[in-house]
Amino acid sequence: MASKKKSSFINMVVVLFIVSTIAATILAFVYQATKEPIAKAKLEKKKKAIGLVVPEFDTVYSPINNMFKIALAEGDSLECYPTKKGEEFSGYAIKANTSKGFSGTFWIMVGFTPDGKIYKTSVLEHKETPGLGDKMQKSKSNWSEQFTGLDVPNIKDIDGDGILIEVKKDQGTIDAITAATISSRAFCNACERAYIAFKKIEK
Amino acid sequence: MEYILIIISAIFVNNVVLAQFLGICPFFGVSKQVETAVGMTGAVIFVMTVATIVTFLLQKYVLDVFEIQYMQTITFILVIASLVQLVEIILKKVSPALFQALGIFLPLITTNCAVLGVAILAVRPDYGFDLMQSTVFAIASAIGFGLALVLFAGLREHMDLANIPKGMKGVPIAFVTAGLLALAFMGFSGIA
Amino acid sequence: MSKLNIFTKGFFKENAVFVMLLGLCPTLGTTTSALNGLGMGLATTFVLVLSNIVVALVKNQIPDKVRIPAFIVIIASFVTVVELLMQAYLPNLFEVLGLFIPLIVVNCLILGRAEAFASKNNVLDSAIDGLGMGLGFAMALTILGVVREILGSGSFFNFKIYPGDGALVFVLAPGGFIALGFIIALLNKLTKQS
């Protein structure tokens, strides 16, 4: 076995410096090589999420390049991805969050047709309880289908609190997920926020 | 109010050990006695807080500015490793008594993934913490770690006296106990 | 020790999870399903093999006192490489494993093998040791993942095997601890009888 380098001060500094330099160089190289695929993977994911919630659209008009932000309040804005079919706007995918979830913030994508109806919804990321709150995902149960085609502008606001999308417990129209009222309320809250944002587009 | 929310959430709801599975190694390693558990907790609170402040500033003023976020892992772990060394040296000089108490736990902290985990979580964009919030988050997480550790050590001390089936003795029953403790902590979810 | 011995000891005799209780955080944190466990296990194996090879290559150039920091830098670099590659080519898995990918750095298994094996043995043996230990770790994670997935969500590698949700607690944190406890108890029983 070759003899070990002595632990002199110079040796230690030089070795650590060399090791770190080589490591940094390799990392910079890998970073450059994977930069494009990572950006592409993220873009694909976004495209897919938009495609899930709005009617079929022409890809000539890129919803991602035409994304704009809608401010709901100071420091609180949602991203909106408009889509076109021919010359007309055919849909709006709005990325909405809510902090009212059972285990913190979750994000959903809500698609609107120009008449204000919800086309479809899709969950982007969440930390809700597996088996209960996560039933809001399409893959877990068909609960979220009651939002498909939901005619928001024509919902009667029974309790007159100005909130349209609510669970039945709160005098609304949505059936809550059994044993997961908080998650259901939060989902409604996110949809409501998306709808408020949607109404601001038209103005 | 905001700070209270962060604190309750980090200690009880998203307890680092019992809900996020961070720092399991020391959780099982130094939980045989309450006394050592308390010592470890002190060391973790100290290192986790300082590490989070330092890494937060590094992320904000170095990594983000030069757009080298991919160096995050390597930078953070080096900061933690050198910080542990530094704390060890300073403690030895300044307070030999405290060093006596915490000394043996310090080297173990480098590979305590809760420290690195909390440092990474604190700079996540979706948390959107500022420096003060990150600091509070780190302290609260460390207290949460300590709480779980001390509770668990208390349970294990009693377990030594219990009559446990042969195959379950030692490690297996410790895991099952930890599971029950985690189950109890799940009762906290939804309050923050 | 023969090459075969070096390779196989990681599976049973010195299995990282079941026997040595190393790397428990990712073990419990990522095994909510069999596939996630396998993914995490393979990512760890990748880092372990490469870091073992590099450590064995440079072991004589590194002074003893800075050995640990140097090893950590080497390991952290490979972890970042895995992180970037996964983000680029397996974005879905990356999202599920999340925080636990950068945390491979502090997996005591990797630093432990660098220190206990690679810094004392030649390159080939270190590579075999890394592969054996890593695959043993991956095997343990997959087993735990399979158990938790079958009990917790009623499926096996995402194929539904019985209707309904199963006992949800096994997908959640407490079930992870309990399932691992019982698996270790079972292994203890089996190994002691033979």
As a whole number, the mean pLDDT across chain A is 84
The Cα of B179 is separated from the nearest Cα of chain C by a number of Å equal to 4
pLDDT at C170: 85
Put simply, whether A17 touches B (Cβ < 8 Å) is no
- Interface membership of A171 toward B (CB under 8 Å): no
3-state secondary structure of B89: helix
pLDDT exceeds 70 at position C194? no
The DSSP code for B109 is H
Mean pLDDT, residues A169-186 taken together: 86
Q: Does C96 touch chain B if contact means CB atoms closer than 8 Å? A: no
d(CA B186, CA C176): 13
User: By the CB < 8 Å criterion, does C173 face chain B?
Assistant: yes
User: Angle CA(B108)–CA(B113)–CA(B117) in degrees, nearest 5?
Assistant: 140
Four-CA torsion B92, B96, B99, B100, nearest 10 degrees = 130
Q: How confident is the model at residue C193 (pLDDT cuts 50, 70, 90)?
A: low
The predicted structure's pLDDT at residue C54: 93
Helical ranges in chain C per DSSP H: 3-8, 24-29, 34-58, 67-89, 91-97, 108-113, 123-153, 173-193
User: Which chain A residues have any C-beta within 8 angstroms of a chain C C-beta?
Assistant: 1-8, 11-12, 15-16, 19-20, 23, 26-27, 30-31, 34, 37-38, 41-42, 45, 125, 129-132
Which of C36, C50, C55, C65 would you mutate first to test chain A, the one with the most A CBs within 10 A? C65
B148 vs A202: CA distance, rounded Å: 52
Q: Which residue has the tokens 């873009």?
A: A43
The answer to whether A92 touches A111, Cβ cutoff 8 Å, is yes
Give the pLDDT confidence score for residue B187 in this predicted structure.
82
ipTM entry: 0.84
Q: What is the predicted pLDDT for the residue at B179?
A: 92
Question: Between residues C162 and B173, which one has the greater pLDDT?
Answer: B173
Name residues 100-119 of chain A within 8 A of B (Cβ): 102-105
Taking only Cα atoms into account, the Rg of chain C, rounded to an integer number of angstroms, comes to 17
pLDDT value at residue A1: 43
- For chain B, the residue count is 192
A35: Cβ–Cβ under 8 A, 6 or more apart, which residues?
A: none
Q: Inter-chain contact A102–B190, Cβ cutoff 8 Å?
A: yes
Q: pLDDT digit string (tens) for B70-127?
A: 888 888 988 888 888 887 888 788 878 777 777 667 777 877 788 988 998 888 876 7
Q: List Cα–Cα distances, B136 to A110, B42, C189, in angstroms.
A: 34, 16, 46
| Mean local confidence (pLDDT), C40-46 | 93
Delimit the domains of chain A by residue range: 53-202
pLDDT of residue C48: 94
Q: Distance between CA A125 and CA A107 in Å, rounded?
A: 5
Q: Strand, coil or helix: what is A22?
A: helix
Q: Say how many C-beta atoms besides its own lie within 10 A of residue B63's C-beta.
A: 18
Q: Say whether pLDDT at C134 is over 90.
A: yes
- H or E segment at B88? helix B72-94
**Does the distance separating the beta carbons of C69 and A16 come in below 8 Å?**
yes
Work out the minimum CA distance from A150 to partner chain B, whole angstroms.
28
Candidate from A3-7, A47-51, B108-112, B118-122 with smallest mean pLDDT = A3-7
CB atoms within 10 A of CB C18: 24
Confidence of residue B175 (pLDDT cuts 50, 70, 90): very high
Q: Which of B126, B127, B130, B137 to mutate to test the interface with A (most CBs of A within 10 A)?
A: B126
Average pLDDT in the A160-178 region? 84
CB contact under 8 A, A103 and B13: yes
B66 touches chain A (CB under 8 A): no
Chain B residues inside the 8 Å CB shell of A104:
9, 14
> Of B147-156, B177-186, C4-13, C127-136, which gets the smallest average pLDDT?
C4-13
Cβ contact C65–A12 (<8 Å): yes
pLDDT tens digit string along A56-66?
888 888 888 88
Nearest to B111 among C73, C108, C185 (CB): C108
Distance, in Å, from the CA atom of A163 to the CA atom of B107, rounded to the nearest integer, reads: 55
The 3-state DSSP class for residue A126 equals coil
Would the pTM of this model clear 0.80, i.e. be above it?
Answer: yes
Cβ atoms of residues A149 and A83 within 8 Å: no
How many CB pairs below 8 Å do chains B and C form together?
121
- Report phi then psi at A47, rounded to 5: -55, -45
Q: Would the pLDDT of B8 be above 90?
A: no
Q: Which range of residues forms the domain containing residue C117?
A: 3-193
- Contact between chains at B120 and C99 (C-beta distance less than 8 A): yes
pLDDT tens-place string over residues C62-112: 888 788 888 888 999 999 999 999 988 888 888 888 778 888 888 888 888
Question: What average pLDDT score do residues A35-50 get?
Answer: 87
pLDDT at residue A3 above 60?
Answer: no
Structural domains counted in chain C: 1
Q: Which residues of B79-92 are buried (b: 16+ CB within 10 A; e: fewer)?
A: bbbebbeebbeebe
Q: pLDDT, tens digit, for every residue of B102-116?
A: 766 777 787 778 898
Alpha carbons C189 and C194: distance in angstroms, whole number: 9
* The pair of three-digit structure tokens given for residue C48, joined into one six-digit string: 């372990």
pLDDT given for residue B160 in this prediction: 81
pLDDT over 90 at A52, yes or no: no
Q: Which residues pair with A98 in a beta bridge?
A: A106
Q: Give the mean pLDDT of C148-174.
A: 82
Cα torsion angle, B63, B55, C104, B85, sign: positive
pLDDT tens digits, one per residue of A108-160: 999 998 888 889 898 888 877 777 778 888 777 888 888 888 888 888 777 77
